[in-house]
Structure 1
Amino acid sequence: MDATISNISPIRENGEVTSIKVEFNASLKGGEINISGSLVIGDLDSVINFEEIHQRIKQKLASEVIGE
């Protein structure tokens, strides 16, 4: 199966990311079957450090605004 992720969106509850919605396109059997859709994946704390991602985004934005 060939699969491509086209979008990842966080899902928040009370300001905290609790899961993500992953949109994808995939083909099976050598391209004979094509599917697209989305899945919600939860329990990501052990896999993704959302606080670290948030801090890196803030740093990158600040750097871009300042022009560094």
Structure 2
Amino acid sequence: MKIIRDIALWIVITVWINFYPDRYRYDTVPQGRHGYWHIDHPWHPYVRFLLPLLLAVWIAYKHFKKRK
């Protein structure tokens, strides 16, 4: 059951990063606060790909480590 939970978590994080980034403009929000995945952030294209990839590698490592 833990592997199903981990895969569901991976899907949720991947969808969240790729399809629901913050999109509001800085000049309309005076506080300047935003979520982690702001679409204009320079790291956003890398995070969209690398974070789900690293999370999948971690889940696979954790799953295959238990089999030994």
The structure with the greater share of residues assigned to helix is: 2
Do the two structures share a fold, i.e. TM-score over 0.5? no
Whichever of the two has the greater Rg, that structure is 1
Structure with larger RCO (C-alpha < 8 A, sep 6+): 2
Give the TM-score normalised by the residue count of structure 2.
Answer: 0.38
Give the TM-score normalised by the residue count of structure 1.
Answer: 0.38
The structure with the greater share of residues assigned to strand is: 1
